A and B are shown apart, each in its own frame.
Chain A
Amino acid sequence: MDQLLWAVFDVLRAAGNGMLLSAQSDDPGLFMQTVNWISRRSEMLMELMLEHLWLVVLTLIIAVAISVTVGIIISYYESIAQTVLGICQVLMVIPSMAMLAFMVPLFGIGFTTGVIALVLYSLLPIVRNTYTGIRELDPAIVEAAKGMGMTERRILFKIKIPLARPVIMAGVRTAAVMMIGIAAIAAYVGAGGLGELIFSGISRGHQPMIIAGAIGVSIIAVAFDYLFYYGEKRFAVEGRTREGN
């Protein structure tokens, strides 16, 4: 993971150097301009990053609550599972701009609209992974649990969910990283976040602003991914492969 961070850093530095060289001698260069802009506006940048983060975290909490519940329910009802997964699939295929446009007449402009759109987007990976994670458990494990007299409720919470957790978490990880990107676009409907910086940068032709916004989004995405990666590894070590001493 450290290597990845270094790689990102290298790319940024290389890009910066390229821009420096191409810039005219009296011009400080785009890289330096961006660095200057960030240092001048660091407070605002932090605020927008936190807003972005809040948007993503809130959406993620709602999405996980809904999707895991739906995934569990359809794991019991094979007949509706394919329909539900199909609907989620369609929701994810709709281009994000179009989805946001649909939301505006229904929910107006603002944070809520952004959250709703993002939740709809993130349904599929989590629902699908919850569903497959539970369905693909070794049937012998479930049969043994049932045969020993565990209630369906206990089997779900003590056996099925803990065993499907790595698969479910992989879905959440996919959804989270995807959402961080789309959340930037959600600034278009007034949801706030780093997208605001990017969009106003574009409309004003202010490049340092755009780059600062993009860097912020990237940092959040990489940090999230790392967090999940670390979490998955930890849980796996704890639960499954610890050998006796």
Chain B
Amino acid sequence: MIKLEGLTKVFPGHNIPAVKELNLEIKEGDVCVLVGPSGCGKTTTMKMINRLYEPTGGKIYIRGENALQMDPIKLRLDIGYVIQEIGLFPHMTIEENIATVPNEKQWPKDKTKEKVKEVMTLVGLDPDVFKDRYPTALSGGQRQRVGVARAMVSDPPIMLMDEPFGAVDPITRARLQNEFLRIQERMGKTIVFVTHDIDEAIKMSDTIAVMREGELIQHDTPSDLLSAPADEFVSNLVGRNRSIKRLHLIRINEILEDVDRGKPIPEDAKKDDIEKSLADSDIRSVIVVDKDNKLKGVIGVNDLKRKTGGEVAGDYCQDVSDTVTSDATLNDALSVMLEIGEGYVAVVNEDDQYAGTITLGDLLNVVKEDS
């Protein structure tokens, strides 16, 4: 899909090339993450693909076509572009912002409106609520969603993303990453993703390209990169705790089936039933769900001793402070457990229904199996 051959960039007034003789091939539908310390040439490489920077040497092929001979405007209109600072236009509404590329392509108005709505829903922004707002009225995470929506609206086969989730807080970042992966699973775009965060790289990528001082050091799948780093630089970059990093590679729904944990109890369960379930539970607590299978709360062994007005599970249960979604990674689950100070965390699916519970022990088993 994208093929870089001997790509070189020397900025005027510099002796050392920013990117040196880079060869890289990215397959259709893959997410290729360029990772490396700042100044390693990853952003420069990315910006040469849509020719914001003109290469001083080498070739770029997109679907076999020489990109350097194409009209740069036409080239860019078919490549989605997301940057860390987002660069939303403050004088335009969210709808107008997202419609930038369709307007440049002179789509009919109805088609644009339709597509804007569709893509807003896709990134999790209610069009009716947000389309007439201005960027200043949005939170950082919401703006980043608009940025992604704006890049995707014309359905470009290729997307370039320069640290797209770099400027938001860690919790929002994890959520945006998971959502993005969910979208990508459906859309199957070819994505070049730049980051300096190796954890993000491992989580997001199909392949990782490690760069240093303008050169490509290693291009491999994340799992190969972890098990066989090409040299000391790469092994330093991925760090010592590689087993923990593996937690980034595995999603909760992949292990949830194998985890055999007691069923949740309905909120109208009697005290005897609660006691029975508690005795079977390996987390000294039972999960309570309502009739729609939505998470209601949790009952620990001590909660039963408390006096309450009622006698059913719904009266005893405590609120759950945090949950994870089933498409989050094991690493997300681990950080939630550490945050709420429990050895387990409840998992919910996309529709907010209870999907299961995983424990620290489960994570330990996964790490053990792998290494």
Contacts and interface: CB of A to CB of B under 8 A. Distances in A.
Given A149-B101, A150-B100, A159-B89, A143 B134 contact: no
A140 B101 contact: no
**Interface size bracket, B side:** 20 to 34
Contact of B86 (A140, A159, A241): A140
B52 A148 contact: no
A151 B76 CA distance: 10
A26 interface: no
B83 interface: yes
A242 B134 contact: yes
B22 to A, nearest CB: 20
A146 interface: yes
Interface in A198-245: 239-244
Interface string A125-158: 0000000000000101111111111110010000
Given A144-B83, A148-B76, A240 B90 contact: yes
Given A148-B76, A148-B100, A241-B134, A138 B91 contact: no
A146 B47 CA distance: 11
A140 B135 CA distance: 14
Contacts of A140: 83, 85-87
A133 to B, nearest CB: 13
A167 B42 CA distance: 36
Nearest to B72: A149
B104 A148 contact: yes
A243 B87 contact: no
A108 B74 CA distance: 55
A151 B77 CA distance: 10
A147 B76 CA distance: 6
A143 B83 contact: yes
A40 B91 CA distance: 51
B81 interface: yes
A163 B76 contact: no
Contacts of B151: 148
Nearest to A151: B73
Contact of B90 (A151, A163, A244): A163
A159 B42 CA distance: 28
B129 A141 contact: no
A162 interface: yes
A244 B160 CA distance: 30
Nearest to B135: A240
* A-side interface mostly: helix
B136 interface: yes
A147 B49 CA distance: 10
B50 A240 contact: no
Given A148-B104, A148-B151, A241-B136, A162 B76 contact: no
A146 B87 CA distance: 11
A154 B83 CA distance: 20
Interface string B113-146: 0000000000000000110111011000000000
Nearest to B50: A147
Contact of B91 (A147, A150, A163): A163
B150 interface: yes
Contact of A145 (B50, B89, B130, B133): B89
A147 B136 contact: no
Contacts of A150: 73, 100, 104
Nearest to A162: B91
Interface in A18-56: none
Given A146-B52, A240-B134, A240-B136, A154 B104 contact: yes
Nearest to B131: A244
Given A150-B104, A151-B73, A154-B104, A145 B132 contact: no
Nearest to A141: B87
Contacts of B104: 148-150, 154
Contact of A143 (B52, B74, B130): B52
B136 A148 contact: no
Nearest to A140: B85
Contacts of B74: 149
Contacts of A145: 87, 89, 100
Contacts of B89: 141, 145, 159, 163
Contacts of A159: 89
A149 B77 contact: yes
Nearest to A150: B104
Interface of A: 138, 140-151, 154, 159, 162-163, 239-244
6 contacts: A146-B76, A148-B77, A148-B81, A149-B76, A163-B89, A244-B132
Given A148-B77, A149-B101, A244-B137, 20 more contacts: A138-B85, A140-B83, A140-B87, A141-B87, A144-B85, A144-B86, A144-B88, A144-B147, A146-B52, A147-B47, A148-B100, A148-B150, A148-B151, A151-B73, A163-B89, A239-B91, A240-B90, A241-B136, A244-B129, A244-B132
Interface of B: 47, 50, 52, 73-79, 81, 83, 85-91, 100-101, 104, 129-130, 132-134, 136-137, 147, 150-151, 160
Closest 10 CB pairs of A and B: A144-B87, A140-B85, A149-B76, A244-B133, A149-B77, A147-B81, A140-B87, A141-B87, A239-B91, A243-B137
